[in-house]
Amino acid sequence: MESGDGLIVRLRTTRGVASTAQIRLLAGAAHRFGNGIIELTRRGNLQLRGITPGTLPDLQAELCRAGLAEASREAERPASLLVCPLSGLDPRCPPLERVADGLEEVLSSLIAPRLSDKFVVCLSGGSDLLERVSADVRITLRHEHPGLAELAVAGDRRERELRLGQCRVGSLPLVLHALLQQVLEQTPGQRLRVRDAVRARGESSLRAALAPLLEMPARGGRAEEMAGTGTPPWRARCVGFNSGVSSWLGLVLPFGSGLSDDWSAIAELAERFGSGEVRLTPARAVLIVGVGAADRERGAAFAEARGFGVRQQPPRLELIACSGAPACRSAQGETRRLASSLGAIVGAGIRSGSTLHVSGCEKGCAWGGPADITLVHAADGYRLGFGTDVAQTSETAPLSLDSVRARVARSFGAPPP
Ligand code: SF4
């Protein structure tokens, strides 16, 4: 994919798990073939930035040797399965690995090459960790309902999910296969996402086709029709030291991005204090698996000295920003310091869990959806939107930075005493 700082090369690690050897290799490759930046994506994958057409073939060869890429597009796994990275760590998450094996088999089957590159199936253990991922298919297992899986698909509009019902966990591969066939029948010749098929076919027709395979089909998707759907997701613990089935140290990468040296430090940390396994999350955090209680303080000090966050912050306002200037040639301005300074203006007037997105240009690489506050750099000033995405925000009138600050403070600043 092309961006203002060159090509972006996305990798698909095996279910979001990377070894320290792979991370060291990526750190070296990012430095030699790109601009040294490695980002954690919103889907818990890694991407290298600043690759040039001249360096791409050597990079691809190196990634293939390390098992991080396939030699051809046809051989690449075409659809991704995003499995909750807390499976096997947090006892609140049911074990997901065997379920994931069955789903992956379906996704690698004959029908998969027609799926869009963006197609994603989320397999959740009931936490809030994968909630922000815009999934084509969402499958949720919960400890409270052993043997059952909840099934939902992307609705016809963004941010809207269509609940299909529950099925036996053992039937999931069959149900997923049937669902994908329904999708494929609707839009021949396209690289598919579920949303397109729901639009083309209609919700009720899709429900009716799948109902015979479900234990408890949801009629119209109302929450009360499926046991468990009223259950709020449990809060995932991704930051700091945690113990459960195993123990882990979670590190937050500022803006989900790090340079080669940062990633080498992550590998060193995992080797010195953990088991050598690193899990990637869609929440801009990496989990260093196997850090024992005896090493928690030393591991945390090592991470903090290198600028990683290890303290849980209250989830009030999430700051999102692309690389911006000077890293990206398309950028009309700096993004990350600006996001932090605007975030400091925002006070008690914003609800917890809000997002502030600063984009260096109209492309909006860092975040595709609406944010509570969106700021876009443009050649003639700043564009500001509340509850809008980058495209909608770009259509507003240009403002000075002082006006932006004043409007943000007026809308979301602390109320007067
Ligand atoms: S959104 Fe940001 S990273 Fe993407 S092209 Fe624009 S300035 Fe570059």
Which pLDDT tens digit goes with each residue over 241-285? 999 999 999 999 999 999 999 999 999 999 999 999 999 999 989
In the chain, count of helices (H) and strands (E)? Answer: 11, 20
Taking CA atoms, 39 is separated from 112, 167, 259, in Å, by 27, 36, 9
Q: How far is the CA of 322 from the centre of ligand 1 (A)?
A: 6
Over residues 230-239, mean pLDDT? 86
Closest CA relative to residue 350, chosen from 286, 413, 268: 413
- 228: buried, middle or exposed (CB in 10 Å: 19+, 13-18, 0-12)? middle
Mean pLDDT over 374-396 rounds to 96
DSSP H helices in 112-259: 172-186, 194-201, 203-210
Query: 297: which 2 tokens?
Result: 């303080």
pTM of the model: 0.86
d(CA 304, CA 252): 10
pLDDT at residue 192 is higher than 80: no
Task: Report the pLDDT averaged over residues 356-381.
Answer: 94
Distance 366 CA to ligand 1 centre (A): 8
For a mutational test of ligand 1's pocket, the pick from 330, 362, 377, i.e. the residue with the most ligand atoms closer than 8 A to its C-beta, is: 330
What is the C-alpha to C-alpha distance for residues 160 and 162, in angstroms, rounded to an integer? 7
Q: What is the distance in A from the centroid of ligand 1 to the CA of 361?
A: 5
Determine which residue's CA is closest to atom 4 belonging to ligand 1. 365
Give the Å distance between the CA of 328 and the centre of ligand 1: 6
Neighbours of 96 (CB within 10 A): 22
Task: Give the dihedral sign, CA 330/3/259/133.
Answer: positive
Q: 335: CA distance to ligand 1 center in Å?
A: 10
**CB under 6 Å to ligand 1: residues?**
3-4, 322-324, 328, 330-331, 359-361, 363-365
